[in-house]
Amino acid sequence: MIGLAAGAVFVEARTVLIALGATGVFAGVLTYFLTPERFIAASVSGGVYEALATDREAMLDELGLSGSPVYVPADTPRVYVPETDPVDATDLSLPASDELTHLFVTDRDGNPGVAMAPTGGPLLEEFTRALTTPLASTPQPLADQLADGLVESFELADGVDTSVDDGGRVTVEFTGLAYGRIDRIDHPVCSLVATGLAVGLDAPIRVEVDKTDPPLVTYRWDPSSRQADSSTETDAIDS
């Protein structure tokens, strides 16, 4: 059935071999790695992510998808990779929400893609359970929370430096990353920030890797797409 669906959506693809079962395995390894009852070396979960990334990158290459990942908030967040990026970098228009529940996605503009479970999903769940205050819903406090979680809670980075633009952009520079190169598909560190921003801001987040050494990533969203008016919200975050 997957092969038929892929053939219907991506007419140029003849053979697509997908090993997405690694997603669940990776989430499980991360969960064990992050719980105090059991310790699993970072090299183990890193090796599982390596296998997942290799399969996902092969799938995207086979299907000819080269667009920047967009992280979409939902009951179960998704990361959507389109065939191409829009001409306007601020354009975050997406297929209908029900389409994003499928692996293979088409949209009315003829720009197909794939929608996957983000590796940052289980990380964000674990992070929010450990918070003593709600997940923030405005950019600066939310970026600070996520940076603190990466460094202090999960130790997935040695340092995180954030720069927030109220026009809909957060630029993040990382040091001492776990899981290798930041430019691999749905890198867990990058994915946690993107998924957290999408959920906290209730807006799709486009991810662009600007540099790999040092790792520098830009996260963009359309402030007008948020359902809530952030000017009326107050975020309580411990200093």
How many residues make up the chain in this entry? 239
pTM over 0.75, yes/no: yes
Give the pLDDT score at 74: 85
Helix (H, G, I), strand (E, B) or coil at 78: strand
Where b means 16+ CB within 10 Å and e means fewer, 188-215 reads bbbbbbbbbbbbbbebbbbbebeeeeeb
Structure tokens at 20: 């997405």
Omega within 30 of 0 (cis) for the link into 214: yes
Give the pLDDT score at 233: 42
- Written as tens digits, the pLDDT of the chain (239 aa) is 444 455 555 555 544 544 444 445 555 555 545 555 555 556 677 788 899 999 999 999 999 999 999 999 988 999 999 998 887 777 777 888 888 999 999 866 667 899 999 999 999 999 999 899 999 999 999 999 999 999 998 999 999 999 999 889 999 999 999 898 999 999 999 999 999 999 999 999 999 999 999 999 999 999 886 544 444 343 444 43
Residue matched to tokens 């105090």: 36
Structure tokens at 230: 């952030």
Cβ distance 113 to 138 under 8 Å? no
Give the pLDDT score at 166: 81
Residues 6+ apart with CB under 8 A from 175: 157, 158, 159, 160, 161, 214, 215
